């Protein structure tokens, strides 16, 4: 079980130690995921970066709390919590990219950088499914995207456990509507898979229009969960960008 910062089942988890003065990275999970989805990336970045991961309500040690179904409300709640943390770059995959972006928009000071992965830019988002979906449709969608062991999806007990979280997260992202506004005063670094069925590369790279400064885009072989196969390279990109941001600052 990940360690909760400050004790108790709060919003933030940390898995691995970091060097004193290491740059900070705050990670936002994708739909259906918990904080542990970033355990591998945290391990790869440790101890060169201090990685903290958001734990959304409704999962793991927060399983007794309602699953958020409104992304704007989730971003409001998270922004109030993040405002009390030391400055950190943001990293979000899929739904987590949108959550990270919306939290950043709500802060008085933007993060040093925003890393977005596996998601269309907000201005190019479209409604991808009709809510609500049946259990079979949700499972088929999860199988299509990968990222979850197929053997687990064949387990009725596992499916019963995750389905409320998946359904709530899908509702949150399906009903999200981008409201145009000024770009963030920070660079946006885009990560995309060249065979992602949800996110055409062109639509992913358009994220850079929502930031300022020295943004960048990186395309990897793979589908929606290309992160799993390119963790070392992605960690290098993150560390390089964090170091560049410090030097510029």
Give the range of the structural domain holding residue 43, as residue numbers without chain letter. Answer: 3-248
Q: For the chain, report the end-to-end CA distance as a whole number of angstroms.
A: 36
| Tens digit of each residue's pLDDT (9 = 90 or more) over 175-209 | 999 999 999 999 999 999 999 988 999 999 999 99
- Cα gap 45→151, rounded to integer Å: 29
CATH code, 151: 3.40.50.1820
Mean residue pLDDT of the chain comes to 88
Collect the ranges in the chain with pLDDT lower than 50: 1-2, 6-8, 130
Q: Is 125 exposed, middle or buried (0-12, 13-18, 19+ CB in 10 A)?
A: middle
| Tens digit of each residue's pLDDT (9 = 90 or more) over 105-119 | 999 999 999 999 999
- Residue 121 phi/psi, 5° resolution? -65, 155
Assigned token pair, 75: 């971003």
- Cα gap 58→67, rounded to integer Å: 5
Active site residue 46: no
Catalytic residue among 42, 94, 117, 121: 94
- Residue 46 phi/psi, 5° resolution? -75, 140
* The pTM of the whole model exceeds 0.85: yes
Q: What is the tally of structural domains in the chain?
A: 1
């Amino acid at each position: 079980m990940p360690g909760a910062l400050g004790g108790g089942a709060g919003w933030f988890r940390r898995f691995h130690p970091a060097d004193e003065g290491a740059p900070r990275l705050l990670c936002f999970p994708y739909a259906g995921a918990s904080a542990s989805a970033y355990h591998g990336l945290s391990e790869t970045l440790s101890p060169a970066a201090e990685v903290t991961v958001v734990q959304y309500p409704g999962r793991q040690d927060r399983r007794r709390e309602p699953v958020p179904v409104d992304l704007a409300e989730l971003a409001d709640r998270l922004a109030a919590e993040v405002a009390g943390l030391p400055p950190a770059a943001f990293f979000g995959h899929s739904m987590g990219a949108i959550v990270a972006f919306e939290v950043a928009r709500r802060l008085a000071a933007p993060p040093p950088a925003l890393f977005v992965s596996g998601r269309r830019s907000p201005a190019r988002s479209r409604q991808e499914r009709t809510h609500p979906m049946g259990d079979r449709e949700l499972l088929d969608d999860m199988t299509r995207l990968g990222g979850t062991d197929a053997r687990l999806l064949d387990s009725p007990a596992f499916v019963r456990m995750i389905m409320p979280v998946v359904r709530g997260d899908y509702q949150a992202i399906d009903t999200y509507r981008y409201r145009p506004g000024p770009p963030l005063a920070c660079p946006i670094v885009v990560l995309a898979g060249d065979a992602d069925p949800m996110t055409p590369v062109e639509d992913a790279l358009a994220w850079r229009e929502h930031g300022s400064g020295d943004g960048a885009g990186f395309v990897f072989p793979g589908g929606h969960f290309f992160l799993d196969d390119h963790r070392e390279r992605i960690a290098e990109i993150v560390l390089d960008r964090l170091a560049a941001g410090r030097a510029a600052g």
